[in-house]
Amino acid sequence: MPMLLSALLSTVLLTACGSLTPSSPQAPMPPSVGAPSAIAKAAAGTVAVKVLAINDFHGNLLPPAGGIKLPDPANPGQTVMLEAGGSERMATVVARIKAKNPNHVFVAAGDLVGASPLLSALFHDESTIESLGMMGLDLSSVGNHEFDQGLDELLRKQRGGCHPKDGCKGPTEFKGAKYQYLAASTIDTATGQSVLPGYAIKRFEGVPVGFIGLTLKGTPELVSPTGIRGLRFDDEADTVNRLVPELERQGVHTIVVMIHEGGYPSGGIDECPEISGPIVDIVKKLDKRVGLIVSGHTHRAYNCRIDGRLVTSGDKYGTLVTEIDLTLDRATGTMTEARAANVVVRPETPKDARQTLLIDSYQRVAQPLIDRPVGFLAQALSKEGDDKDVGGGSTMGQLVADGMLAATRAPENGGAQLALQNSGGVRTGLIHRDDDRVTYGDLFAALPFSNALVVVEMSGDELRQTLEEQWWANDAKWLPLQVSQGFSYRWDKRRPIGSRVEPGSMRLNGQPIAPDQKIRVTINSFLQVGGDSFDTFTRARFIRTGPMDVDALEAYFQSLGTTRVKATTLNRAIRVDQ
């Protein structure tokens, strides 16, 4: 294999609580970017600092399908899709921004890995971690997806070493992340300590800046309970406010928070006429000494002022890099100004040669599997727009459920009668190519979590209870289950939570399901252990384990031969009040 990285040119010095390493390598400028013609200069009494930020990269080493929505200059009020992203071009954008000011730091707000395309997931996201380290990422909060495979795997990603089950698959030895993960609110209940450092301190011309990193307190509702057993996820604002005085005692008077929680804005990628969502209340509760919040999780782009503080988010999948300028007072160490702009990683941006070399080395291993044909598709399938129904079903979700049922219907495979799939487990839809071809890489993009299928036995009443668990208390969330062909039910939002499924409406192959009737249901391993708070599944009688969800979908396509898969009618979960 060719050498992927020459000697590193410089080092970013860090100090932190806990076990944070004292230094973090800084990537050199790629060949396509020249030295800056002029360096941003601050007034004599101030220090100018450049913060670069990303979030929710999710292993998208290559430009993601769909790109990014931007305002259409030819049609006011309309948007156009622009191909954007990819680590080769993002590295160039990062280097160009860094070149503007030697006082810089590159941070992230979590979900850098997990739910990744096959080029990253096949290697347990080692390729992504190496790519981001090569760009000079310094610090990242953990996100919920960093816990997809449990704490031990997150620690391996930080520290390096081969995967305990699959070994070393990549082209080079995996040495772990060159950047430091921060997890201030993730507490080991046995020790009372955070599982990773909660903050780091970086000095710019002698002025210290503190960086606190944490994930959302709702992480246990989003990942497999078995992977986070023994962990506690504390309130976001309470965690930050607890650490602020500790930083102050160390002489830190400028504090930045990287948090894997976000909001839902109106306006364009650099606007914020209005914003809603959890980040609003969190920011309002934060200690006033926190001046900048880099957020994520909601996959939105915004540049907001909330409670007088700058709050940013950079979309998803590496389509944007947020460029933030801070002005620090030398005498007091406080932040006097903060402004930001979201920079699009545009398709005409030159590619970083070292990133290309890195990606090529992994693609040589992964490409045959990515390109393997599995079947044919008559049309694109999605989770959104016209492919989504008010009842909760989607054309893509129903396809996955149908594949799950097909894989487990035979008596020797569990004798399943219906299948249920959590919506969050279906990451994306399927694109349609001119030749109708579908590849394994397409399927893996839709089902990247490597969940095994499980057949369980439930009573009709337990099945009804499970359906009721789609609606959380006070309608805080609605997590519609995707259901297989042959099963249907009706529901009414006007009815109280806990009784929204109309009595007698559950049907299996046209026949009503009695409360005491035994039904064999295929679910995935995430749901079996109570993921997404579907607790009734944890009490269902285990029958047998089946194949991985993505392999079941591949088998479903292959069973159809040259028949083109089409969208199914969205009439399985029927909402009657609309």
Question: Torsion over CA of 266, 267, 269 and 275, rounded to 10 degrees?
Answer: -30
Does the pLDDT value for residue 334 go beyond 80? Answer: yes
The tokens of 522 are what?
Answer: 């295929």
Q: Going by DSSP bridges, is the β-strand pair 290-295/255-260 parallel, antiparallel, or unpaired? A: parallel
Does the pLDDT value for residue 35 go beyond 60? Answer: no
Give the amino acid at 282: I
Cα–Cα distances (Å) from 456 to 406, 420, 451, 484, in that order, read: 15, 11, 15, 15
Helix/strand/coil for 46: strand
In 3D space, the residue among 530, 479, 470 whose CA is nearest the CA of residue 224 turns out to be 530
Does the pLDDT value for residue 8 go beyond 90? Answer: no
pLDDT of the residue at 73: 85
Contacts by 221-226, CB closer than 8 A, 24 or more apart: 221/532, 221/533, 222/144, 222/424, 222/532, 223/144, 223/145, 223/147, 223/148, 223/531, 224/148, 224/150, 224/525, 224/526, 224/529, 224/531, 225/529, 225/530, 225/531, 226/150, 226/529
Of 578 and 15, which is predicted with more confidence?
578
Does the pLDDT value for residue 4 go beyond 70? Answer: no
Does the pLDDT value for residue 155 go beyond 50? Answer: yes
* Mean pLDDT (whole number) for 451-472: 97
pLDDT of the residue at 326: 98
pLDDT of the residue at 418: 98
Does the pLDDT value for residue 40 go beyond 90? Answer: no
Specify the length of the chain in residues.
578
pLDDT of the residue at 43: 63
Does the pLDDT value for residue 11 go beyond 60? Answer: no
Kindly give, in sequence order, each residue whose CB lies less than 8 Å from that of residue 200, ignoring residues fewer than 6 positions away: 14, 15, 16, 20, 139, 180, 182, 210, 211, 213
Stretch (H or E) spanning 361: helix 353-370
Does the pLDDT value for residue 32 go beyond 90? Answer: no
The tokens of 96 are what?
Answer: 């160009």
How much of the chain exceeds pLDDT 90, in percent?
88
Q: Residue 6 — φ and ψ, nearest 5°?
A: -80, 180
Cα–Cα distances (Å) from 89 to 353, 364, 557, in that order, read: 10, 20, 35
pLDDT tier for residue 77 given thresholds of 50, 70 and 90: confident
Between CA 561 and CA 443 the distance in angstroms is 16
Helix/strand/coil for 434: coil
How much of the chain exceeds pLDDT 70, in percent?
93
Q: Encode pLDDT of 257-289 as tens digits.
A: 999 999 999 989 999 999 999 999 999 999 999
Does the pLDDT value for residue 38 go beyond 80? Answer: no
E strands present in 156-204: 180-182, 186-188, 199-204
Ordered by where they begin, the domains of the chain are 38-360 (3.60.21.10), 372-575 (3.90.780.10)
pLDDT tier for residue 537 given thresholds of 50, 70 and 90: very high
- The CA-CA-CA angle for residues 380, 383, 388, to 5°, reads 100
Between CA 279 and CA 268 the distance in angstroms is 18
pLDDT tier for residue 33 given thresholds of 50, 70 and 90: very low
Between CA 445 and CA 58 the distance in angstroms is 11
Q: Encode pLDDT of 462-486 as tens digits.
A: 999 999 999 999 998 999 999 999 9
pLDDT of the residue at 25: 31
- The CA-CA-CA angle for residues 283, 261, 192, to 5°, reads 90
In the block, which residue shows the tokens 């990628």?
269
User: Mean pLDDT of all residues in the chain?
Assistant: 92
Between CA 86 and CA 319 the distance in angstroms is 7
Between CA 245 and CA 251 the distance in angstroms is 10
* Mean pLDDT (whole number) for 516-539: 95
Q: Encode pLDDT of 498-507 as tens digits.
A: 999 999 999 9
Let me know: does 374 contact 560? Beta carbons within 8 Å: no
* Mean pLDDT (whole number) for 426-442: 96
